[in-house]
Amino acid sequence: MNNFEYFAPTKVVFGKGTEKETGRLAKEFGARKVLVHYGTGSVVRSGLLDRVCDSLKEQGLPYILLGGAQPNPRLGLAREGIRICREEGVDFLLAVGGGSVLDSAKCIGYGAANEGDVWDFYCRKRKAEACLPIGCVLTIAATGSEMSDSSVITNEDGMIKRGYSSDYGRCRFAVMNPELTYTLPDWQTMSGCTDILMHTMERYFTKTPDTMLMDGMSEALMRTVIQNAKILHENPTDYDARAQVMWAGSLAHNGLLGCGNETDWASHQLEHELSGMFDVTHGAGLAAVWPSWARYVLSEKPARFAQFAVNVMGVTGDCTDPVKTALEGIREMERFFHEIGMPVNIHELGYDLTDEQIKELAYKCSFFGTRTIGGFKVLDQEDMVRIYEAAR
Ligand code: NZQ
Ligand code: ZN
């Protein structure tokens, strides 16, 4: 096991009716003037926004509303939020929605609490030294942004999607009522389940030896998400399945499952370029890329993929042939993706890539030829081209 730091400071308030606690929690964490940030309308239609605002009023907390954060949230709206925070003296951000709203709020928080252009952080020119405090009411189980240190923003100038990670941006509190996710379209629920699995797999596919505890926890989490995704595909209002998946989403991406492991993240980097270029749903984009990544890197450590096949996908192992077992595990994962309506390649995602587009995706993913990606197998720009080609 490698050395590690683990920091997960978010207070989680989980269960039915918990959104009524939002005002109390904001006050507990020092809010005096709140920017309530939300998406493109679901929280208005469901009445959640009104309930959350009522709870702020009950605590006597003044607030300003800023809606419009779209999936794959844009820098332009975050800049608008930064301006409002500065002009209005906002000292607390409340994100009501999914990962996109949360990430947009984190970007606003960095921009409002630091001098200069917030995009500098996302293109790695400098590091943030603060962030406005953030709380959230989560409406989709997916990104884990409610407990993660990351935010991912798309700059409309060039449609470049970049992530920035810092402990300053971690939420002070996360309100999680699984009932709030009942209204999600099936596609979003299943994309969310895929993202949760992928956050676990990016940490699980490691070459670090002696990871028994992390392996066991990760495998249990993945089996839980697979089983409950199938239930939710049939019955979206199954509370227990919603609850299992929601808590799994936070645990998959709060850093816990990577403690002591070298992590990978290549599939995420490859997907971010796809959603930057085509605005695809993040989880579905991951499903379209992962099988090709898996087959490309498998030979680095077939035993790892064989362990995944047996312990997660329920494949009957063949001790004499780990590669055969490993390949069967990848095929099982593809069968599962199809069962829940996810694509297993980019064509099924709805795009037929040209050679030029593949070159552009790889060029952007390599940060214009300046970086490699991946930990399980280090991938250069040429490897990225090959994986996109295999995935198309
Ligand atoms: O905009 P609204 O109207 O709210 O609709 C949203 C949106 O259309 C809708 N939705 C959310 N909750 C709903 C609902 N519709 C009905 N009922 C509800 N309860 O679902 C759609 C997707 O929402 P979004 O927030 O985009 O989904 P998600 O949570 O999957 O976030 C995706 C973004 O997060 C980034 C992704 O790249 C993508 O930009 N990620 C963030 C990470 C992080 N911060 O740690 C890690 C991830 O790997 C990921 O990269
Ligand atoms: Zn993700």
Q: What's the rounded mean pLDDT across residues 104-111?
A: 98
Residues 146 and 260 in one domain: no
Distance CA 202, CA 204 (A): 6
CA 154–ligand 1 middle distance (angstroms): 13
Ligand 1, residues 162, 282, 289, 290: which to mutate, most atoms within 8 A of Cβ?
A: 282
Atom of ligand 1 at shortest distance to CA of 151? Answer: 44
Residue pLDDT, tens place only, 204-245: 999 999 999 999 999 999 999 999 999 999 999 999 999 999
CA 61–ligand 2 middle distance (angstroms): 33
CA 179–ligand 2 middle distance (angstroms): 22
CA 198–ligand 2 middle distance (angstroms): 7
Domain that holds residue 241: 184-391
Residues 278 and 345 in one domain: yes
CA 71–ligand 1 middle distance (angstroms): 6
Residue with CA at minimum distance from ligand 1 atom 25:
98
In a domain, 2, yes or no: no
Number of domains observed in the structure of the chain:
2
Residue with CA at minimum distance from ligand 1 atom 16:
184
Q: What separation in angstroms does the CA of 145 have from each of 149, 226, 330?
A: 7, 20, 27
Ligand with an atom nearest the CA of residue 147: 1
Residues 244 and 116 in one domain: no
Atom of ligand 1 at shortest distance to CA of 191? Answer: 30
Assign 319 a pLDDT band (cuts: 50, 70, 90).
confident
CA 196–ligand 2 middle distance (angstroms): 7
pLDDT for 317 beyond 80:
no
Atom of ligand 1 at shortest distance to CA of 272? Answer: 37
Atom of ligand 1 at shortest distance to CA of 192? Answer: 30
Residue pLDDT, tens place only, 287-298: 999 999 999 999
Structural domain ending residue among the three candidates 145, 160, 180: 180
Structural domain ending residue among the three candidates 145, 161, 180: 180
Assign 14 a pLDDT band (cuts: 50, 70, 90).
very high
Atom of ligand 1 at shortest distance to CA of 253? Answer: 45
Structure tokens belonging to residue 213: 């505890």
**CA nearest neighbour of 345 among 277, 279, 252, 270:** 270
Q: Any residues with Cβ below 6 Å from ligand 1, and which?
A: 39-43, 71-72, 97-101, 103, 139-140, 142-145, 148, 150-152, 180-181, 183-184, 188, 192, 195, 253, 268, 275, 282
**CA nearest neighbour of 253 among 99, 100, 112:** 99
Assign 342 a pLDDT band (cuts: 50, 70, 90).
very high
In a domain, 4, yes or no: no
According to DSSP, the residues that pair with 134 across neighbouring strands are: 93
Structural domain ending residue among the three candidates 142, 159, 180: 180
Three-state DSSP at 150 gives strand
Assign 318 a pLDDT band (cuts: 50, 70, 90).
confident
Q: What percent of the chain has pLDDT over 90?
A: 98
Residue with CA at minimum distance from ligand 1 atom 45:
145
Residues 19 and 97 in one domain: yes
Residue 81 has a pLDDT of: 98
CA angle 232, 235, 240 (to 5 degrees): 65
Distance CA 22, CA 53 (A): 9
Please write down the HEC assignment for all residues of 268-292: HHHHHHHHHHHCCCHHHHHHHHHHH
CATH number, domain containing residue 228: 1.20.1090.10
Structure tokens belonging to residue 345: 């390649």
CA angle 170, 254, 374 (to 5 degrees): 110
Q: What is the average pLDDT value for the chain, to the nearest integer? A: 97
What's the distance, CA 95 to chain centroid? Answer: 15
pLDDT for 257 beyond 90:
yes
Residues 224 and 357 in one domain: yes
Residues 56 and 145 in one domain: yes
pTM confidence score: 0.98
For CA atoms 96, 97, 101, 106, the dihedral sign is positive
Ligand with an atom nearest the CA of residue 72: 1
- Burial grade of 318 (CB within 10 A; 0-12, 13-18, 19 or more): middle
Residues 156 and 134 in one domain: yes
Q: What's the rounded mean pLDDT across residues 106-115?
A: 98
Q: Who surrounds ion ligand 2 at CB < 5 A?
A: 195
Residues 173 and 190 in one domain: no
